């Protein structure tokens, strides 16, 4: 149970962010920098965007799990932050087969400083196309000189020996205090050349990086986008089946659209708003099995969390926009699912924040991607913020509530006790770490006790099995606490809101 009072409580945290939300501007600021030494690239390594390579940091054929612990201490340095990489295997992940990375780790640039919160966001892709996944770590609270919260982005290179050397990826020039660079990350191959590209968001606009990357972290091109002022989220994935990822920008709450607008970026750099859609974070996966990626966004804030008019369903919701040969058209009306939708366990209550986190993956091997949705402030009995995660099934007809299941620390087979402030479901991830064709469920519980917890359950033909599921605590993963809570499990590669 959480013992710290902080800005992570929903009303205080939300009010602070919504009060500073910036309205969407009509004039765009765009800076393109073509960086030297990367214009001529080797032949594309096509494996860079396949499941066989993505997340596999040591090249053993099993996908791995990166877990952010932004509150972890480094010696006497409080809240310096850490990332724990749990290596996949036929039996799943365990604390005994791990790597802990901090800014005090040999080969990692920067220094472990108080309140940096290294590991606030994590992602992966084979950026240098050597056949090993590389780890991306966002540190939006990183200080630069005397300016706090400027932010930084670090890439740790994968190899046969795991994650070793690293480099910083240069931010756009002119970032100031509080810009929060790298608060949001997404990876995808926008150009179709086999080299992953990166989208990065923060409080002072967004940045795109075009691969391939050199081992010093230099991309072929860097582009700064300030179309929307503050930009909270970015999603990348192929929704039209042309082999190239589309990019969707989620600026976050704006005047007149507190649910957060959704903008689709064309391959020519143009931007089109999807006026019927909302979202603060999202992911793309093929839910209906038609070969086209579908966009799922989380809209967790209801009217109880802001004084502004919010159309979001009580307790939060998710929205689904289906891809096609023509992509996602602006007039497509999203499918909306919440806890009062028929077949969904539970009921929508003020401040549940259903949709705070979400992830997409096939948990039962039926070739339809499922969606795991976190509601970290779900009350269980009298325990406010105990948290819950709900699995919704994919099907030929799209996302269905038939057979949906809710998971919490009151569910049989899940260790622990549901306590106030645990925030089960603050982060979620669906990933096949056992290489059996079925994704495991991975759920972060950062408020568990003072160190945080990670819960994992094996995928099966019947879906995730709670029997035999496992938990790993932050201390078991080798992390230390000083004053702040460790927050192990606060970040996973699945989408989660940062506002």
Structure confidence by residue, pLDDT tens digits, 11-30: 333 333 333 333 333 334 45
pLDDT, residue 267, reads 87
Average confidence (pLDDT) over 445-462: 96
Q: Contact at 8 Å (CB) between 384 and 375?
A: no
On whether the CB atoms of residues 496 and 446 are closer than 8 A, the answer is no
Dihedral of the CA atoms 419, 77, 454, 375 (nearest 10)?
50
| DSSP code, position 236 | E
Q: Please report, rounded to a whole number, the percentage of residues in the chain having pLDDT higher than 70.
A: 89
Specify whether the CB–CB gap between 27 and 46 falls below 8 A: no
Decide: 395 and 288 in contact? Cβ < 8 Å.
Answer: yes
In the predicted model, what is the mean pLDDT of residues 221-234?
A: 82
Decide which of 33 and 207 is more confident.
Answer: 207
pLDDT digits (tens, 9 = 90+) for 100-116: 999 999 999 999 999 99
- Give the per-residue pLDDT at 44: 40
Beta strands 357-361; 281-285: pairing state: unpaired
> Contact, 102 vs 24, CB < 8 A?
no
Question: What six digits make up the tokens of 90?
Answer: 């036929």
pLDDT tier, 35 (very low <50, low <70, confident <90, very high otherwise) = low
Tell me how far the alpha carbon of residue 382 is from its chain's centroid. 29
């Amino acid at each position: 149970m959480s013992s710290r009072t902080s800005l992570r409580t929903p009303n205080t945290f939300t009010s602070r962010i919504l009060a500073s939300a910036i309205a969407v501007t009509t004039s765009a600021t765009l800076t393109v920098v073509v960086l030297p030494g990367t214009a001529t690239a080797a032949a594309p390594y096509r494996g860079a965007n396949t499941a066989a390579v993505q997340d596999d940091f040591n090249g053993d054929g099993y996908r791995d799990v990166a877990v952010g612990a932004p509150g972890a201490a480094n010696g006497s340095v409080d809240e310096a932050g850490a990332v724990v990489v749990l290596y996949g295997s036929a039996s799943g992940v365990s604390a005994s087969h791990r790597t802990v990375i901090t800014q005090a780790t040999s080969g990692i640039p920067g220094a472990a400083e108080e309140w940096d919160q290294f590991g606030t966001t994590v992602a992966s892709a084979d950026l240098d196309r050597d056949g090993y996944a590389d780890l991306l770590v966002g540190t939006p609270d990183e200080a630069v000189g005397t300016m706090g919260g400027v932010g930084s982005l670090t890439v740790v290179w994968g190899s046969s020996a795991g994650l070793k050397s690293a480099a910083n990826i240069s931010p756009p020039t002119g970032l100031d205090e509080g810009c929060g660079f790298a608060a949001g990350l997404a990876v995808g191959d926008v150009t179709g050349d086999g080299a992953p590209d990166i989208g990065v968001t923060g409080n002072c606009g967004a940045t795109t990086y075009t691969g391939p990357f050199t081992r010093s972290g230099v991309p072929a091109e860097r582009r700064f986008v300030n179309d929307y002022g503050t930009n909270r989220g970015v999603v990348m994935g192929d929704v039209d089946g042309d082999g190239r990822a589309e990019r969707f920008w989620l600026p976050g709450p704006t005047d007149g659209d507190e649910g957060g607008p959704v903008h689709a970026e064309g391959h020519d750099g143009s931007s089109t708003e999807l006026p019927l859609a909302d979202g603060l974070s999202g992911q793309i996966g093929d839910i209906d099995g038609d070969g086209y990626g579908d966009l799922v966004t989380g809209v967790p804030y209801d009217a109880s969390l802001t004084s502004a008019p919010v159309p979001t369903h009580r307790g939060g919701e998710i929205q689904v926009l289906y891809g096609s040969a023509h992509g996602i058209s602006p007039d497509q009306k999203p499918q909306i699912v919440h806890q009062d939708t028929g077949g969904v366990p539970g009921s929508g209550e003020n401040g549940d924040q259903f949709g705070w986190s979400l992830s997409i993956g096939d948990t039962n091997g039926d070739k339809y991607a499922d969606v795991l949705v976190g509601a970290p402030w779900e009350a269980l009995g009298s325990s406010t913020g105990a948290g819950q995660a709900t699995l919704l099934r994919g099907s030929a007809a799209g996302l269905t509530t038939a057979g949906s299941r809710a998971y919490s620390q009151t569910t049989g087979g899940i260790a622990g006790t549901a306590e106030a402030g645990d925030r089960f479901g603050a982060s979620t991830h669906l990933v096949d770490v056992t290489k059996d064709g079925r994704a495991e469920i991975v759920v972060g519980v950062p408020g568990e006790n003072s160190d945080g917890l990670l819960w994992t359950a094996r995928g099966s033909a019947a879906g995730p099995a709670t029997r035999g599921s496992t938990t790993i605590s932050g201390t078991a993963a080798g992390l230390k606490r000083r004053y702040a809570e460790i927050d192990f499990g606060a970040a996973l590669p699945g989408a989660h809101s940062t506002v």
